[in-house]
Amino acid sequence: MDWLRKNWKGITAALVIAILSWFTGEKFPIIGGPVVAILSGMLLSMCIQNKSELADGLKFVSKKILQWAVILLGFGMNLGVIAKTGAQSLPIICVTIATSLTVSFLLCKAMKIPEKISTLVGVGSSICGGSAIAATAPVINADDEEVAQAISVIFFFNVLAAIIFPNLGNLIGFGHEATGFGIFAGTAVNDTSSVTAAASTWDTMWNLGSSTLDKAVTVKLTRTLAIIPITLALAFIQAAKAKKMAKGSDAQLTFSFTKVFPWFILYFIAASIITTICYTYITDQQLLKNVKEFFATLKTLSKFFIVFAMSAIGLNTNIIKLVKTGGKPLIMGAACWICITGASIMMQHSLGLFGTTENKAVTETSQNTEHSTTLPAEDTTISVEVDH
């Protein structure tokens, strides 16, 4: 009861903003609920003179709810399908992630950008936008203002990508087929909403049904799994730093790796394994349908929890300070975005994935049948269920 008395005001304030932001995001998917929530929270924060009564509840939502959102993200991740259909794009994904992390590290040193913001922008740009930031923030102990800044930077370049990339793809010669641009959108755009927008536009431009969208979302799903090694690596780095700081002091006696280890990432992995086992071994079609519907509900709850957490982060953020200090992170975000785009294009060119004869033949068949071709069940599952 004491916990409820301390937290209910902050939780309620964030929940009200989250519900309104959720429905607004549904109306304007290219912006998305998380961005609406964080902006609404920041604007409302300017009107609140004393936030001390909200502090405990906002901290709970921005930390614990955010971790639960990442855990639930694992449901719907069919690792078998990812291994089968995502292998083609894996070299490109590895190169783009390495590129973004390298650029963010170098600019962090050269421009003296705070380390935590640099990490969040680098990881958010290279993996999957808001979801990657949500997974990384608790590991590196980033505060709400740092998370808000990183989310704002990522959002800006998400919108640019959704608008620019379809025409860019046509300009550089991807060909009027699905595979080339689908891989490009899945590796060079960092948030699912923008991946979906760019891929759907390409499908519409060249009358491809949903072929590009299915490919892009599969690639994006493969890329999302990079959350696991990245956050674990960051956890070990944080643990090493904490142990070094504690060395030679009484704090060394109380240092524990289990306190800094991101256990919620293990639960995320467990959720993915459960999903894979269910999709692989359940043969009863009605039972499988019910399981998929249940996982889809958990995925929706995960998305709402992210919006919920972003509301609390927005309420905890000083928007004036954010604007004053936002220039350098924005430059870093631009550099990561441009370098990832270039790396993806060069890798696709070197691997011959701009559009093969086989893919063009498939596209022509799809056009001639006016999209009457039925997608494989596994691909359909991905395109419906994956959206973070």
Q: Each residue of 137-153: pLDDT tens digit?
A: 988 989 888 998 998 89
Angle, alpha carbons 160-161-166 (nearest 5°): 120
Q: What is the 3-state secondary structure (H, E, C) of 326-380?
A: CHHHHHHHHHHHHHHHHHHHHHHHHHCCCCCHHHHHHHHHHHHCCCCCCCCHHHH
Residue 256 banded pLDDT, cuts 50, 70, 90: low
- pLDDT tens track for 15-49: 999 999 999 988 887 778 888 898 899 899 888 88
pTM of the predicted structure, to 2 decimals: 0.76
Give dist(CA 96, CA 253) in Å, integer. Answer: 41
Angle, alpha carbons 322-135-278 (nearest 5°): 150
Domain that holds residue 311: 2-385
HSE value, Cβ hemisphere, 13 Å, CA-based, for 331: 10
Counting Cβ atoms within 10 Å, is residue 176 exposed (0-12), middle (13-18) or buried (19+)?
Answer: middle
Counting Cβ atoms within 10 Å, is residue 288 exposed (0-12), middle (13-18) or buried (19+)?
Answer: middle
- pLDDT tens track for 332-346: 999 999 999 999 999
Cβ-Cβ contacts under 8 Å for 71 (sequence gap 6 or more): 264, 267, 268, 271, 302
φ and ψ of 206, to 5 deg: -115, 15
Pick the residue with more confidence: 220 or 378? 220
Q: Which range, of 174-188, 275-289, 353-367, averages the lowest pLDDT?
A: 353-367
**Could you tell me how many residues make up the chain?**
388
Q: Above pLDDT 70, what percent of the chain?
A: 87
Say if residue 368's pLDDT is above 50. no
HSE value, Cβ hemisphere, 13 Å, CA-based, for 264: 20
Number of domains in the chain: 1
Give dist(CA 48, CA 36) in Å, integer. Answer: 19
